[in-house]
Amino acid sequence: HDEQFAYTVTARDPEEGPLTYTLLDGPAGLAFDIDTNQLIWTHAGTAPYPTGSHAIRIGVIDERGAITE
- Report which of 4, 16, 10, 61 is spatially closest to residue 36, judged by C-alpha positions: 10
Confidence of residue 69 (pLDDT cuts 50, 70, 90): confident
pLDDT digit string (tens) for 24-64? 999 888 899 989 999 998 876 666 666 778 889 999 999 99
pLDDT for residue 1: 52
Read off the pLDDT of each residue in 17-26 and give the average, rounded to a whole number.
93
One DSSP character per residue, the chain reads: --EEEEEE-----TT---EEEEEEE--TTEEEETTTTEEEEEE-SSSPPP-S----EEEEEETT--EE-
Q: Which pTM was predicted?
A: 0.74
pLDDT for residue 44: 66
Read off the pLDDT of each residue in 8-30 and give the average, rounded to a whole number.
91
